Structure 1
Amino acid sequence: MVYAIVFFLGKQLKLIENKYVYVPHLHEDLGKNIFLNKVFLFYKNGYSQIGTPFLKNINVQVEILQHLKGNKIIIFKKKRRKGYKIKNGFRPLFTKIKVISFLQKE
């Protein structure tokens, strides 16, 4: 098993090779390959590398597969005994990415 923990768009993600992950919306074209270079941890065959704070010799190549909307999130505000009620909602945007490979520089 090969995986990496990466810092991406303000979140820490565990990326496994040939698996799909939903991340916050990216303004990139479908099918485009991008490289993530902020890797905290890299694990391969029982051997792990930990960065301080990032590993300089590891990049993760991901492909953008799809842009989609998530489930509706409801925001309900109320102040008791005042007659104040407001109900709003929105559907967050996500991007589905697939991990292609982990590139190690020597």
Structure 2
Amino acid sequence: MYAIVDIAGKQFKVTQDQFVYTPRLEGEEGASVEFDNVLLVEADGKVNVGTPSIKGAKVTGKILSHLKDDKVLVFKKKRRKGYKKKNGHRQAMTKVLIETIK
């Protein structure tokens, strides 16, 4: 059984007892979260597609930790002009354990 869920503007294919790294979510570590925007559910070979989401379907999870993603380097240069600029960025992430799909 799996579901496709919209979490913070991104779509994730999730199964039960799976870890998902999402954009930073509100809530304490150890808190329970509920995702109502379920786009698709597959169970026992039957696929249920929402228009755009499935009414009454919920995915629950537990926030395990807040962390940062790997650093992405941005380097800009204009040749023969002496212009160089180097920036780095680390995106804030949340590690979520998917507990149930209803």
Q: TM-score, structure 2 length as denominator?
A: 0.95
* Deviation for aligned residue 1:34: 1.2
Aligned to 2:55: 56
For structure 2, the 5+ residue unaligned runs are none
Aligned to 1:44: 43
Aligned to 2:66: 67
In 2: Cα distance, 1:34 partner to 1:10 partner: 16
In 2: Cα distance, 1:60 partner to 1:12 partner: 13
Mapping of 1:11-90 within 5 angstroms? 11-90=10-89
* Deviation for aligned residue 1:35: 0.9
Aligned to 1:96: 95
Runs of 4+ with deviation above 3 angstroms? none
State the Cα deviation string for residues 26-83 of structure 1 (Å, max 9, x = none).
1310111111111110011111100011000210001100111111110101111111
Letter of the aligned partner of 1:28 in structure 2?
A: G
Q: How many residues align?
A: 102
For structure 1, the 5+ residue unaligned runs are none
Letter of the aligned partner of 1:3 in structure 2?
A: Y
The alignment yields a C-alpha RMSD, in angstroms, of 0.9
In 2: Cα distance, 1:35 partner to 1:70 partner: 23
In 1: Cα distance, 2:76 partner to 2:55 partner: 46
Q: TM-score, structure 1 length as denominator?
A: 0.91
- 3-state SS of 2:58 partner: strand
State the Cα deviation string for residues 8-32 of structure 1 (Å, max 9, x = none).
1111111111110100111310111
